A and B are shown apart, each in its own frame.
Chain A
Amino acid sequence: MAIRSQSFQRFRKRITAFNVAAALFTVFFVIFFVFPLYWQVATSLKTRENTLRIPPQLIPNPVNLDRYVWVFKNTGFPLNVRNSLITAGLTTITCVLISTLASYALARLKLRGSRAIMMSVLICSMLPAVAIVGPLYLTFRRFHLLNSFTGLIISYTAFFLPFTMWFLTSFFKTIPPGLEEAAAVDGCSPCQTLFRIIIPISMPAIFTVGMMVFIFSWNEFLFAFTFTSIDSVRTYPVGLVMFQGQWEVPWAELCAASTIVVIPIIILVLAAQRFIIRGLTAGAVKE
């Protein structure tokens, strides 16, 4: 009996040591991941003199909103944010619409070669963006799509289609075919079945895909940087890189501008956490 309780105690102690290590590790990585965001917000709230203090001030004192005012008054940044909203919004709508139709066909209507289509689309999506950006630039120049929202939206939509098609096709395959048979019995055409039955019950998956596409296109840089050269169509990541130009780098102002675009997207991501994680980890677990 005594031996048993002794070993039990040792067992408990080992568990505790393990737990302490795990807790310390957790604290470490949470700080590692979140602190830079704090630092960005803190820098943006400091006065100009306090941003350039050595050693740096850990907590902004006094809190000051002048950097934000400066960004709104002296830069094209608000315009860039508007452009990002337009581009990301319209890309999301187009991409979700086109991929819903295509995925339904690939999952449900007996297409010849649907598997081959899926595989080639997947391989296309793995190409480095830099390997297509050159010819795409020349094509867009020929069709007057440089410096236009249309050009950006076309390239984003096509670039994210492979992901959305894969995600939605595998989701549609999980819907029991009985539902569609029942709909056919009631005289629904395949189109009606899609809009009246498949889409309504797939809203969570469609929402996931929409969120992912919105975030991807909201943050995209390479295409936007290459295809736009005037402020009226530039999206905010390009605008931020252009900030650096003139004198010394305006760090506090950059932090303020970044905060303006980062905080809403982080709130969005955290609010829709469940959907985002499902979108991110699609493909991790084999059906």
Chain B
Amino acid sequence: MFSRTEALNRIKQQGLSQRQLGYILVTPALLLVGFVSVYPFLTTIWYSLHKIRLNLPAEGRPFVGLQNYVTLFQSGRFRHSLLITSLFSSAWVAVEFVFGLCIALVLNRRFRGRALVRASVLVPWAMALVITALLWQWMFNPVFGLLNAILMALKVIKEPINWLGTTAFSAYLSVLVVDVWRNTPFVALILLAGLQGIPGTLYEAARIDGASRVGCFVHITMPQLKHAILVALLFRSIDAFRSFDLLYVLTQGGPGRSTEIASLFAYKTLFQYLDFGKGSAATVIMALVTTALSIVYVTSLSSKD
């Protein structure tokens, strides 16, 4: 028979072996993350300081310092891709935030069929990005597409528009619609989870004090939602900045290079031009941005309020 204190002592005595066991259990996970994320990323930084042309192996891999970065920033194509990436990310996240907040507010009310409506929001999220891109390409199709047919039936436009093919502006707009379709659900669900965490007593107290609907929203909902908003905005910004699949299939950077975001430029430089030095440098610059954003997120997790 053990007494309770004796048992606790035994746990304490096991302290050392417990810690050893802990390290054994963590090791496989850390090895995998190290092998697939940390090591390749350090290698990417290393490559970015060298001249590496996979199609010209005879040239070797000479060290060139920051030459790749200098070349990148001198190239209008790369500067354009960075600009477009920032522009797209901010536009996407802004629209998705406003739209998502409205959806979350609706879903937070009790009404018949709410479960069904919430389920419908999950549909875009469940589809692979490749399928999303192909499906919208089909709906944007200039000849047989549904969108042109609807707009012409409503007399909004007189003749079919080649949404993804003619002007940069129509391509921006189309890409925005697709990204909003795909990613607003995530924002809405995050904000909904935040809304559901607000204690109802706050609203009751405010109503007794005679607060209006707008007053409640400004003084209770928004401040209480601060953390959820921060998470939604940061996660979406990081994801938008590094997005690849959607545009790779939807526009492949076209028309011209108008929708060639940084990840597309980097991928083409790596795997089409086989220029691993320059391509790596481009991805290092992207990683700097996403890492900065994720450090903001990590600090906000650790902060008290």
Q: State the A residues within 8 Å of B (CB).
A: 18, 22, 25-26, 29-30, 32-34, 36-37, 39-40, 43, 51-56, 98-99, 101-102, 104-106, 109-112, 117, 119, 121-137, 139, 154-155, 157-159, 161-162, 165, 181, 184-185, 190-191, 215, 218-219, 221-222, 226, 236-237, 240-241, 251, 254-255, 258, 261-262, 265-266, 268-270, 273, 276-277, 280-281, 283-286
Contact = CB atoms under 8 A, between A and B. Distances in A.
Contacts of A109: 18-19, 21-22, 25
The size bracket of the interface on B is 35 or more
Contacts, number: 286
Given A22-B106, A98-B29, A128-B287, A191 B21 contact: yes
Contacts of A266: 122-123, 126-127
Interface stretch (B33-41, B70-78, B87-95, B161-169): B33-41
Interface of B: 2, 4, 7-8, 10-11, 14-15, 18-19, 21-23, 25-26, 28-30, 32-33, 35-41, 43-44, 47, 99, 102-103, 106, 109, 115, 117-131, 134-136, 138-139, 141, 143-146, 149, 152-153, 181, 185-186, 189-194, 197, 213, 227-228, 231-232, 235, 238, 241-242, 244-245, 248-249, 263, 266-267, 270-271, 276, 279-280, 283-284, 286-287, 290-291, 293-295, 297-298, 301
What 3 A-B pairs come out closest when comparing CB atoms? A109-B22, A158-B36, A128-B242
B31 to A, nearest CB: 9
Nearest to B229: A284
Contact of A185 (B4, B32, B213): B4
Contacts of A111: 19, 22-23, 26
Nearest to B180: A32
13 contacts: A29-B103, A34-B120, A37-B127, A39-B135, A39-B138, A133-B267, A154-B32, A162-B33, A184-B11, A222-B244, A236-B128, A262-B127, A283-B231
Given A51-B144, A102-B29, A258-B134, A26 B35 contact: no
Contacts of B134: 240, 254, 258
A218 B287 contact: no
Contacts of A117: 26, 30
B123 A34 contact: yes
A218 B242 contact: no
A245 to B, nearest CB: 13
Most buried by A among B10, B135, B232, B267: B135
B130 A132 contact: no
B72 to A, nearest CB: 14
A215 B128 CA distance: 9
Contact of A241 (B102, B130, B228, B295): B130
Contacts of B36: 132, 136, 154-155, 158-159
Contact of B291 (A101, A123, A285): A123
Nearest to B263: A130
Nearest to A267: B126
A134 B270 contact: yes
Contact of A159 (B37, B126, B279): B37
B280 A123 contact: no
Given A262-B126, A280-B189, A26 B117 contact: yes
A259 to B, nearest CB: 9
Contacts of A99: 29
What does DSSP make chain B's interface, helix, strand, loop or mixed? Answer: helix
A48 to B, nearest CB: 12
B283 A128 contact: yes
A190 B19 CA distance: 10
Contacts of A119: 298
Nearest to B190: A284
A127 B143 CA distance: 40
Given A22-B109, A219-B129, A284-B194, 20 more contacts: A33-B181, A36-B181, A37-B123, A43-B138, A54-B144, A54-B149, A104-B25, A109-B21, A117-B30, A119-B298, A122-B294, A123-B291, A126-B294, A128-B286, A136-B40, A154-B35, A161-B33, A240-B131, A262-B127, A276-B122
A170 to B, nearest CB: 11
B41 A123 contact: no
A159 B35 CA distance: 10
Nearest to A244: B134
B186 A280 contact: yes
A106 B295 CA distance: 21
Contacts of A110: 15, 18-19, 22
B122 A273 contact: yes
A287 to B, nearest CB: 10
Nearest to A282: B193
Nearest to A107: B22
Contact of B153 (A55, A158, A221): A55
B153 to A, nearest CB: 7
B145 to A, nearest CB: 8
